[in-house]
Amino acid sequence: MKYAHIIGWGKYLPQRVLTNQEISKTVDTTHEWIVARTGIHERRIAGTRETTATLAFEAAARALFVAGLHPSDVELIIVATSTPESIFPATACQVQDYLGATRAGAFDLSAACSGFVYALSMASNAITSGAAQNAVVIGAETMSRVLDWQDRGTCILFGDGAGAVVLEGSSIPGGVLASTLRSDGSGGDLLRLPAVYHNPVPILGGEFSQNGHHKNTISMKGRQVFRFATNVISDSVQDVLRDAQLSIDDVDLIIPHQANVRIIETAAKRLKLPVERFFINVARTGNTSAASIPIALCDAVDAGLLHPDDNVVFVGFGGGLSWAASVVKWDVTPPDLSLPDREWGRVRYVLARGRSRLRQLGRHVASFVEGSPTPDARLRERIRPDGRGRTHGRGAKKR
């Protein structure tokens, strides 16, 4: 029997801080209103050279360093995100390349703010089933790029960032003890981010032009999402504890998705727990969607709140509607990592970039030297001069 243990963690937040006061200069809101209704004071905004993939890479590299795992030994990379730079290639494949994780499978997972917990569950299942020995699970978002900065109901809430954990299989009991994943698509309209591919098909005429105008920004029915969130936090914490055969008294720390302090306070009341049992860092990060739980985990570790043998519950909720919880036996002591070691750790990623460039160059050269995979002469032999079909092989007409 294998268990999936968390052995590394890391986060990355962009440098640029955007305060409530700055936002209040462009939309009709105030710092006081935002703090009173959400608990948010500021959030981070990705720089022009940063993407969801670069944020994810930074978090993953730190997590691998803590884990003491070489990128070339990584077997699986999952990036939970709603803000990939492209539908494909997957952000996870970009991260694989930046890390030089040459043996890793990589894919993105879309479950909005529940994405990290979904991804943790998938990775844990891959390890316990024996399909992978380890996995890097990342939540990464550039929410600032999908906000309508004129909509005061949403633009005050979100921020950019990434967090990651490394999971490794072991025969020692512990690690991810149980997960519950849930969804309710009937509430899909409460929180939406339309995709980018709404191009018409001109050769088929107007009938196939797409269905109306889609704004590529988040829209949200805040009050209804608030009500949904407070219900599902308490339900899913209770469900996952039942699955793990634990009681609420066994839980040392709950790390919820960081959307709004009032949501967390209401959920704490429903669970009859002191709010101190919940880790909260939304004041400085805003809502970073799929990245919020792993970022909060790193902050909780830095604050010395997690000790070996603690039971920690992650609970996510958001668009879909979707919600999910995992209970994890925390069984590591943070290693003492000195700065020079960290800097040394980066060298391998410079090498990985060089390796990636060489592979790209190799493909260009191969394509130039070898030419078309179907050489002209063979093509001429197979296709009749009138272009009507093949002269031999499967599907050829008899002469």
Q: Which residues bind ligand UT7 (CB under 6 A)?
A: 29, 33, 37-38, 113, 152-153, 156, 191, 222-223, 225-226, 229, 259-260, 263, 287, 318
Catalytic residue of the set 113, 134, 260, 311: 113
CB of 12 to ligand UT7, least distance (A): 20
CB of 119 to ligand UT7, least distance (A): 16
CB 296 within 8 A of CB 258: yes
Catalytic residue of the set 5, 134, 257, 281: 257
Paired residues of 29 in beta bridges = none
155 included as an active-site residue: no
CB of 321 to ligand UT7, least distance (A): 10
CB 177 within 8 A of CB 54: no
For residue 35, the Cα-to-chain-centroid distance in whole angstroms is 26
Torsion angle, alpha carbons of 205, 206, 207, 213, to 10? 140
Cβ nearer to ligand UT7, comparing 23 with 253: 23
Question: Per the structure block, which two tokens stand in for 298?
Answer: 């790193």
113 included as an active-site residue: yes
CB 67 within 8 A of CB 109: no
Cβ nearer to ligand UT7, comparing 37 with 270: 37
Cβ nearer to ligand UT7, comparing 165 with 191: 191
Cβ nearer to ligand UT7, comparing 70 with 223: 223
CA 253, CA 296: separation in Å to the nearest integer? Answer: 11
Question: Per the structure block, which two tokens stand in for 135?
Answer: 């996995």
CB 313 within 8 A of CB 237: yes
The residue with its CB nearest to ligand UT7 is 222
CA 200, CA 196: separation in Å to the nearest integer? Answer: 12
CB 42 within 8 A of CB 58: no
Catalytic residue of the set 134, 260, 287, 311: 287
257 included as an active-site residue: yes
Cβ nearer to ligand UT7, comparing 67 with 232: 232
CB of 6 to ligand UT7, least distance (A): 23
Tokens 């197979």, residue? 382
Active site residues: 113, 257, 287
